[in-house]
Amino acid sequence: MAKATKAKKSIISDKAFDFFRNYINNASPVGFETWGQKLWLEYLKPYVDTQYVDPYGTAVGVINPDNKFKVVIEAHAFT
């Protein structure tokens, strides 16, 4: 009889996996990345202080925007 093995706990949370599944299944073809950018920025919202999309198609979230040292989380989408 085979021994039962204990399933390893994933390092990816259910929320993160749901975001990933929605993100990769969203229709954002080249030139129409707006929906993908919206999903990305909505997911980032709890972790950043400000966010924006620049004219070049880069979706940006910034932590500590008014401080000398800040963290920028960005993802580029070709537009």
- For residue 34, is it left (φ>0), alpha (ψ between -120 and 50) or beta? alpha
Residue 34 contacts residue 28 (beta carbons within 8 Å): yes
Confidence (pLDDT) at 1: 59
Indicate whether 79 pLDDT > 60: no
Residues linked to residue 25 through DSSP beta bridges, in sequence order: none
- The pLDDT tens digits of the residues spanning 10-56 come to 888 898 899 889 988 888 777 778 888 888 889 889 999 999 888 87
The β-bridge relationship of strands 50-53 and 71-76 is unpaired
Q: How many CB atoms lie within 10 A of CB 50?
A: 12
Question: Residue range 45-73: average pLDDT?
Answer: 87
Strand order in the sheet with 50-53: 50-53, 58-63, 71-76
Q: Reply yes or no on whether the pLDDT at 4 is more than 90.
A: no
